[in-house]
Amino acid sequence: MRKLVLLVVLSCSSIVFAQKKSKVLVTIDGEKTTVADFKRIYEKNLDAIDNEEAKDVQKNLDLFINYKLKVKEAYDIKLDTLASYVKEKETYRDQLSAPYMQDSSYINKLVKDAYFRTKNEVKAKHILIKTPENASPKDTLDAYEKIIKIRNRIIKGEDFEAVAVETSDDPSTRDDARSGRPGNKGNLGYFSAFRMVYPFEDAAYTTKVGEISEPFRTRFGYHILKVDSLRASKGEVEVAHILIDDTSSKGEEIANEVYKKLQNDEQFPALARQYSSDVGTKSKGGKLRPFGSGVMVSSFEDAAFGLQKEGEYSKPFKTRFGWHIVQLIKKLPIASFPELEGELKSKVRSGDRAQLSQKAVVNKLKKKYTIKENEEAKAIFEMANIKSISKDSLQSIILSINDKNFTQEQFVDFLKSKRDISVFQVFEDFKDSEILTYYKDNLEKLEPEFAYTLQEYKDGLLLFELMQQKIWEKSSKDTLGLKNFFEANLSNYEPKELDKIKGEVMNDYQNYLEKNWIADLRRKSVIDIDKKQLKKLIKFNKSK
């Protein structure tokens, strides 16, 4: 029922916005509706009407007036103050405003980039210089200067891997004495879209093969990377495996025994359930989720992608986890862009890339808005106990966006929810957040379509609640009224027993109640229709 009411509202509701001057068509208790505004609503629904009678302008104007009277009644009895209405209205407003918080053209670019980076894998090595969790500007500058010096050494001819082992803060770069695991010397192997944090991925794909990137920052610190190669993606592969987690010769012996059983036509799933040490997959016959490059250790990945035919299995091979045998279930090549577009767009909108799209909106708004920062008020950034300063001491204006001011207290409240980020960076995040909030709060003034749709929904919620009170609840509870209506109109019904046709009678009774209610609303209201404008509108419609 609520969906039906909201659908009616979408056909009838109206807001007047700045547009070319239009004559007033109808005035209801002083509220004016222009010809242009009514035409917008009327023409919006013409394509959905296949009944010529239903397209009649006069009849549609009568329906519109009835609708406006109902909505006015809802506001008059303050249904818009109901807690349930306010909550649902705000929830819908948040949903409706979400697309405006993203730059759609930028999103489309990111989706296309993501598809290229899905179809093509990049191989890179990197060096990391970490920044402290709560880095000050000095900490950030020190890390940047350090990575610059490291980059200059490599540019002048020093070996990237040797410098990585010497300088990188990534612990996987060097040998692990405890586990005996060799270091990767900064090598990350092949990876594709969504495998790394976005700034790292972006640097890898925008640096030419063989070249060293400029320093760039992620949440871990500053990096430089060298791109070794770019190749077409192998897609994903789905395999099952048997793991013998004994890395000794005994483990190899068991693995070879299992391999012989496979050669004697014993079933891979049954052997996985019997022998595999991987408790997470053995009950599934060793089946793993599909994976692409850069997910598994290289020897496992090479064995899996090296299999060509479905059902084919590898010889036993060793990783640091033990001995494996892998069977190919199927290969999953990269789908076409139209097939992947929806999935990629969803990933872009839900991942760290979405912040870039939002940042693009913020950057546009910064050029439009008057934004002022109070440097004296920002002196609190230097205080070690900033989060515990009393509220009374935090009342200075720290930021202004157009006509709206923000105090130090508001910033410190924002700061309290942040961890492991410098106070200076948090202020930039605070500023961006408030710019977006300011834009969101003023969307009705800036985006007519947003305002139209929101008002339609708000009025629809009110109309639903009003109809519930005035018609639906009344008709269901007023059993005597229903009985009297039935008896007064007995000649219209067959059979003559209310219990057998109660649904039909209830529907007619609701129509009767609504008709009388509308008549009462019209008697209490002053309705003025400009007949000259209505005549022109009817003539215009007939000429189309």
State the pairing for strand pair 322-332/236-244: antiparallel
Q: Which fold does the domain 113-232 belong to in CATH?
A: Chitinase A; domain 3 (3.10.50)
Among residues 278, 377, 382, 285, the alpha carbon closest in space to that of 327 is found at 285
> Around Cβ 76, how many Cβ atoms within 10 Å?
9
Average pLDDT (411-438) is 91
> Binning pLDDT at 50, 70 and 90, where does residue 6 land?
very low
Residue ranges of the domains in the chain?
A: 2-76+447-543, 113-232, 237-332, 369-443
For 50-95, the pLDDT digits (tens) are 677 778 999 999 999 999 999 999 999 999 999 999 999 999 999 9
SS3 for 55?
helix
pLDDT > 90: what percent of the chain?
Answer: 77
CATH code for the domain defined by 2-76+447-543: 1.10.4030
Give the Cα separation of 125 and 189 in Å (integer). Answer: 8
For 430-484, the pLDDT digits (tens) are 999 999 999 999 999 999 899 989 998 999 999 999 999 999 998 889 999 999 9
Give the Cα separation of 265 and 216 in Å (integer). Answer: 54
pLDDT > 70: what percent of the chain?
Answer: 95
10 or 351, which is more confident? 351
Give the Cα separation of 118 and 344 in Å (integer). Answer: 10
Q: Which fold does the domain 237-332 belong to in CATH?
A: Chitinase A; domain 3 (3.10.50)
For 257-294, the pLDDT digits (tens) are 999 999 999 999 999 999 999 999 999 999 999 999 88
| Residue 179, pLDDT score | 67
Which burial class, exposed, middle or buried, applies to 192 when counting CB atoms under 10 A from its CB (0-12, 13-18, 19+)? Answer: buried
SS3 content of the chain, % helix, strand, coil (to 5): 60, 15, 25
> Binning pLDDT at 50, 70 and 90, where does residue 4 land?
very low
For 86-141, the pLDDT digits (tens) are 999 999 999 999 889 989 899 999 999 999 999 999 999 999 999 987 777 788 89
| Residue 14, pLDDT score | 41
44 or 199, which is more confident? 199
CATH topology agreement for domains 113-232 and 237-332: yes
Which DSSP symbol is given to 30?
T
224: left (phi over 0), alpha (psi -120 to 50) or beta: beta
For 213-250, the pLDDT digits (tens) are 999 999 899 999 999 999 999 899 999 999 999 989 99
